[in-house]
Structure 1
Amino acid sequence: MAYSKSQVPDTAQHYLVCGIKDCEKNCLFYCNPCHQPMCEQCRDEHQKSPETKNHELVPYRHRKDHLPVEKCRDHPTKDLDILCDQCSVPLCSKCSTMPVHNGHSFTDLETIYTENSAACRQEIQNIRAYFIPMAKDLQNEIKIDATKIKTIMDGIRSSMMDEAKSLKTLVDEVTSDNIEQVNKMEESLKEMLQSQDKTYEDYISYLKDLVNQFYGYLSSTQFQNNAIIFPLSEYFKIRPIPETIKPVPPVFTAGRYSKEMVAKLLGKVTVSKTKPETRKVKAMETASKHLKPTRLQGREKYGVKQRLSSSVTKVREYTVPGVDRVHHISQGKSSSLWVSDYCSNIVQTDLQGNQLQKIKTSGGRYVGNLTVTQEGDVIYADKVNKVINRITPDKTITEFIKTGDWTPLSIHSSHINGDILVGMIKEGKGKVTRYKTGKEIQNIERDNKGQELYSYPHYITENINGDICTSDSIKQAVVVVNKSGQHRFSYTGQGSVSYPRGVCTDRLGHILVCDIHSNTVDLLEHDGQFLCVLLTKQQGVLSPCSVCVDDEQNLYVGQWKTNTVTVYKYLQ
């Protein structure tokens, strides 16, 4: 689907066509006086025509914006098209001849409009490419700081509890020592009192014996040898009462501790005297080095500094043993590549093409059917049994997801959240289903007008912004929806019949599409605007069917008619 010739949007989703009647060629140039997009041939004819040979013809990206039509209030048949520099008011050509503007200078309003529109677009680009990412970076920094503060405060709380436990242990030890000392003092005093008690017990016994002795003298009737008839002075010499001392108990002197003294013992938390640093905001000038206003410099809004090279370099080429034709490729861990062919063979190779392992599946033919998960497992679509299988590193194949009545065709493991995206068909209809931990959580089938989005979702991938990009070989288009399933755009090639197959994205948000019919690989912006034909038959591309980009931004292209994989460098 091409755009209407009457109006070409600023951000194309498919491709720009020439505005000359019955010409459907790709638009490259623009006539500013006519406000008409043109192909190269029509531009040449336009310049040859006597009526238009003096028109200003520029590359499309340098075009002037079409000035909105507004009628002059004083001259309703005239359009406002100039600006009085002295009065700063828009005028029509007739107004400029009025006495009030005598001697004044004028500027073409369309020129001003174009320059200010470009400035607005540049400012929008600055906001999107610098201010929003910078603010988000600072916001992320705040979240990191919040986590750090939580960790620090937890550490302080733990230290305080440890300090309190340590002090409590010391208090318990001192208290135990004091109690033991008191116990010893008590035992000593008890021994002293027991000794005194024995002293008086013995003395009382002595006195009782003496009383009994005197009673014996009184009761005796015989005077012979009876002491009572003799002087008793010797007998009345009673031993004095023993002297004893009263015990002196110990005195406990209680500690005189205040809360402040305890706080001093335990330590306290104080506000740091370190002056807080202002969060660093990268200067606009510094950021602008990587934010030049050209479409071919990639997705600066995502903070990636790579940009497109002026040329594509072939890095290496190798054949994949064990496969008949390269139908699908996916980058694995440990610098390996996984390849499937139309006979349901899955082969793992190193980056020199040496076979590491080969697995024969029952998944049927002609399916873009494998992907490598974040954990390093390979999962593939088995369209015969209508299941998604998992191959673990020990080569064990287990059933992972059942797709019911729907036949799985394409599959992709998200590098953003680990979700599994599966393109499926049933009775001539297609859909894309999202799975999380093996459970179905989203189905995408129709656009907001109720139209079917897919017929045969042959290859599928995910962009860095969460967009789901699906190559549909029946609709002959790459259908792109956002992560909520809302249709964003459909790319149908550059004018000729398109046969899209493999599709992948890179770190800049570019979309790379194989066209098996034209022997090309197209490069698109994340919003669908065509950037360039990245690879052609002249560069060794023959029936490209599958693509993937590794962590070093090397592009791997698998060929349908051979078992050849070619590696290119297109970012610098």
Structure 2
Amino acid sequence: MSRAQDAVRCSLCSEVVVIHCKSCDVNLCGQCVKPHIDRNLSIKHEILPFTSELFDPEAEVQKCKDHPKQPCDLYCQDCNVPICSRCLTGNHKRHGAVDLEEICTTTRTMVKEDLEELKNFQKEYEKIVKSLKMKAQKYTEHCKQEKSSLQKIKQIWHETIDRSIQIIEKRLDGMLEEDMKCYQDNIEEIQRALERVTKSLKRNENLLRNDNSFTLLEYESEVEELRLVPARRDIKPPSLHPKDVQEEAVVQQLVSLEFSVRSSLPGFTISKTGQVCTVSTRVLVEEHTLLATIKTECSKLKGIQCESKERVWVYGEDEKLRLLDKSGSMLNCVTAISGNSQKDIALNKDGEIAFSHKTEECIYLVRNNKMEKLFCTPGWIPYGVSFNVDGELMVCMRRNDHMESKVGIYREGNLKKEIQFDETGKPLFSASRNNMYITENGNSDICVSDWNACAVIVTKKDGEFRFRYTGNLSRSFKEFYPHGIDTDSYCRILVVDRDNHCVHVIDRNGKFLCFIACTLHDPFVLSVDSEENLWVGECDTGCIKVIKYLD
């Protein structure tokens, strides 16, 4: 019997389908409609009666490769493959698995978001192509103008050379005229002497032929007078001597050519709203390099903020804020309020340090080495703090009875926004007394590491939930307990995994990229400096390890 003749079954169970969810493109029986909607409350479901026109006879329910009789209803995040429930006791035991329909829904939402972003990308890329074509056209026109100028230079030098040749020709003609006159004078003088010799010769021949005694007595010899040949000038003809000049030297004498200059324009990211910002194009390296190990005087290192590529602020259980250089030398020290209640530190653009105070439920600011209370969070214990690009202070808070958690965004001490629940009203963060850390990504996302939830929760700037990263267990069987968190200029998220002695690197959409271990022991907090080297603070050892992870 063909598939088209069989009864169409529910996507969640084996019952006959009666309903079709157009939003999720799944077929459902009557019993599975409510569980499907409850499982995906963030989506507005369009429920339609199932008809044969909605059935695609070519579509098949994906079966598990390891258990062919079982439909795939889960997705293994470690192996990135669909699996069935039985796989959790076999090849995918202890792997992170999520509901297949849920991840498909999440992916579908991501595809829709990406579609809108891709439209922005298209506009930006079209602008770049248009700009490059215009530059290429201007470049060609410029080169044509330069070639025209070169022809003018050629004409000028041709005329100059012609004039120079004419001058030399004129000089040569002058020499010829003068030297020919000299030769003519010599010829005339010698010619006259020759005529005298010839005349004397004929006279003597006649005397001897006539042999007349009286005539012989009158003879006067001219031999001695003609014996001396008159002086004359000898002239060496002029010679042209072409200069032995190299062709390149001639070119340099004629005109200089400044070569075109090529430079690299930095890449940039395009935000969801279409805004652009320049970013680094450096890539992750396979082998991470330990650049330095800095020993601090901190007992239980719990806070770290890079001030520059050479200096870092740290604090520990002794409640002192220290500014250190890469050698570990202390450049400044500020004593915070005692009581071991300090939770986190943040550095703003003006070099001022904000820190959270657990006992007093407030935020302090260190300005010019003096402390002042910035604002209070009555009823809420502040934990992680971080300044965003707008200069606002983002604060992670847990209610003092540890039953709720949230993020508050403050501007000049005034609460501007709270982030606590997702679109369905469910809490985004865990309810506990354990640490939370926070940072802003380059795409304006807010990233929170929640120790008790064993997750990194990422929301948009307006607080809309984006994704939750729960670790990658391929490296260790220990649970993922995130601590310190930061981002780099390529919007990668770096988060400490204390129990597994490493740092997780994920992309802006929560995809795992790599681990950074590099001899880390009990890592607790981290910070990325201006050269995008990673500074990791180890709690128990009190050491900071500076690691190169980009190329």
> What TM-score, normalized to structure 1?
0.49
Deviations 1:480-514 (A, max 9, x none): 11110111111111134111111110000000111
AA of the residue aligned to 2:392: D
In 2, Cα distance between the equivalents of 1:467 and 1:500?
A: 18
1:522 pairs with one of 494, 498, 504: 504
1:353 pairs with one of 314, 328, 332: 328
Contact 1:503 1:512 in 2 (8 A): yes
In 2, Cα distance between the equivalents of 1:552 and 1:458?
A: 26
AA of the residue aligned to 2:450: D
In 2, Cα distance between the equivalents of 1:388 and 1:550?
A: 24
Runs of 4+ in 1 over 6 A off after TM superposition: 21-25, 123-126, 135-140
- Is the alpha carbon distance of 1:486 and 1:24 closer, same or farther for their aligned partners in structure 2, counting shifts above 3 Å? closer
In 2, Cα distance between the equivalents of 1:365 and 1:344?
A: 6
Report the 3-state secondary structure (helix = DSSP H, G, I; strand = E; otherwise coil) of the residue aligned with 2:510: coil
Which residues in structure 2 correspond to 1:438-457 (within 5 Å)? 438-454=413-429, 455=431, 456=434
Contact 2:301 2:542 in 1 (8 A): yes
In 2, Cα distance between the equivalents of 1:472 and 1:139?
A: 45
Partner of 1:459 in structure 2? 437
- Is the alpha carbon distance of 1:361 and 1:570 closer, same or farther for their aligned partners in structure 2, counting shifts above 3 Å? same
Give the % identical residues.
Answer: 24
Which residues in structure 2 correspond to 1:37-186 (within 5 Å)? 127=118, 131-134=122-125
- Is the alpha carbon distance of 1:492 and 1:348 closer, same or farther for their aligned partners in structure 2, counting shifts above 3 Å? same
Partner of 1:418 in structure 2? 391
Deviations 1:507-538 (A, max 9, x none): 00000111111111111011111112122xxx
Partner of 1:340 in structure 2? 315
In 2, Cα distance between the equivalents of 1:386 and 1:343?
A: 19
In 1, Cα distance between the equivalents of 2:496 and 2:66?
A: 30
In 2, Cα distance between the equivalents of 1:26 and 1:430?
A: 27
Partner of 2:344 in structure 1? 369
Contact 1:386 1:405 in 2 (8 A): yes
1:402 aligns with 2:415: no
Report the 3-state secondary structure (helix = DSSP H, G, I; strand = E; otherwise coil) of the residue aligned with 2:282: coil
AA of the residue aligned to 1:475: A
1:494 aligns with 2:472: yes
In 2, Cα distance between the equivalents of 1:490 and 1:19?
A: 28
Which residues in structure 2 correspond to 1:464-483 (within 5 Å)? 464-483=442-461
1:551 pairs with one of 523, 530, 549: 530
The alpha-carbon deviation at position 362 of structure 1 amounts to 2.4
Deviations 1:75-114 (A, max 9, x none): xxxxxxxxxxxxxxxxxxxxxxxxxxxxxxxxxxxxxxxx
- Is the alpha carbon distance of 1:528 and 1:358 closer, same or farther for their aligned partners in structure 2, counting shifts above 3 Å? same
* Runs (5+) with no aligned partner, structure 2: 1-11, 13-23, 25-63, 93-110, 132-261, 269-275
- Is the alpha carbon distance of 1:352 and 1:448 closer, same or farther for their aligned partners in structure 2, counting shifts above 3 Å? same
- Is the alpha carbon distance of 1:446 and 1:372 closer, same or farther for their aligned partners in structure 2, counting shifts above 3 Å? same
- Is the alpha carbon distance of 1:353 and 1:488 closer, same or farther for their aligned partners in structure 2, counting shifts above 3 Å? same
In 2, Cα distance between the equivalents of 1:541 and 1:125?
A: 41
Q: Which is bigger in relative contact order (C-alpha 8 A, separation at least 6)?
A: 1
Contact 2:303 2:316 in 1 (8 A): yes
Of 126-135 and 515-524, deviating more is: 126-135
- Is the alpha carbon distance of 1:500 and 1:30 closer, same or farther for their aligned partners in structure 2, counting shifts above 3 Å? closer
In 1, Cα distance between the equivalents of 2:447 and 2:331?
A: 30
Report the 3-state secondary structure (helix = DSSP H, G, I; strand = E; otherwise coil) of the residue aligned with 1:369: strand
In 2, Cα distance between the equivalents of 1:517 and 1:331?
A: 24
AA of the residue aligned to 1:464: G
Of 124-133 and 458-467, deviating more is: 124-133
The alpha-carbon deviation at position 325 of structure 1 amounts to 2.0
The alpha-carbon deviation at position 470 of structure 1 amounts to 0.9
AA of the residue aligned to 1:308: L
The alpha-carbon deviation at position 24 of structure 1 amounts to 9.1
AA of the residue aligned to 2:520: V
* Runs (5+) with no aligned partner, structure 1: 8-17, 44-119, 141-281, 292-299
- Is the alpha carbon distance of 1:498 and 1:381 closer, same or farther for their aligned partners in structure 2, counting shifts above 3 Å? same
- Is the alpha carbon distance of 1:129 and 1:28 closer, same or farther for their aligned partners in structure 2, counting shifts above 3 Å? farther
1:320 pairs with one of 296, 310, 330: 296
Report the 3-state secondary structure (helix = DSSP H, G, I; strand = E; otherwise coil) of the residue aligned with 2:461: coil
The alpha-carbon deviation at position 301 of structure 1 amounts to 9.0
The alpha-carbon deviation at position 347 of structure 1 amounts to 1.2
Contact 1:477 1:491 in 2 (8 A): yes
1:503 aligns with 2:488: no
Contact 1:363 1:385 in 2 (8 A): no
Report the 3-state secondary structure (helix = DSSP H, G, I; strand = E; otherwise coil) of the residue aligned with 2:513: strand
> What TM-score, normalized to structure 2?
0.51
1:531 aligns with 2:506: no
The alpha-carbon deviation at position 310 of structure 1 amounts to 2.5
Contact 2:292 2:326 in 1 (8 A): no
The alpha-carbon deviation at position 131 of structure 1 amounts to 3.5
The alpha-carbon deviation at position 410 of structure 1 amounts to 1.1
- Is the alpha carbon distance of 1:311 and 1:19 closer, same or farther for their aligned partners in structure 2, counting shifts above 3 Å? farther
Alignment length, in residue pairs?
320
- Is the alpha carbon distance of 1:30 and 1:459 closer, same or farther for their aligned partners in structure 2, counting shifts above 3 Å? closer
Partner of 1:184 in structure 2? none
AA of the residue aligned to 2:346: T
In 2, Cα distance between the equivalents of 1:139 and 1:369?
A: 48
In 1, Cα distance between the equivalents of 2:454 and 2:308?
A: 32
1:568 aligns with 2:547: yes
Report the 3-state secondary structure (helix = DSSP H, G, I; strand = E; otherwise coil) of the residue aligned with 2:122: helix
In 2, Cα distance between the equivalents of 1:477 and 1:491?
A: 5
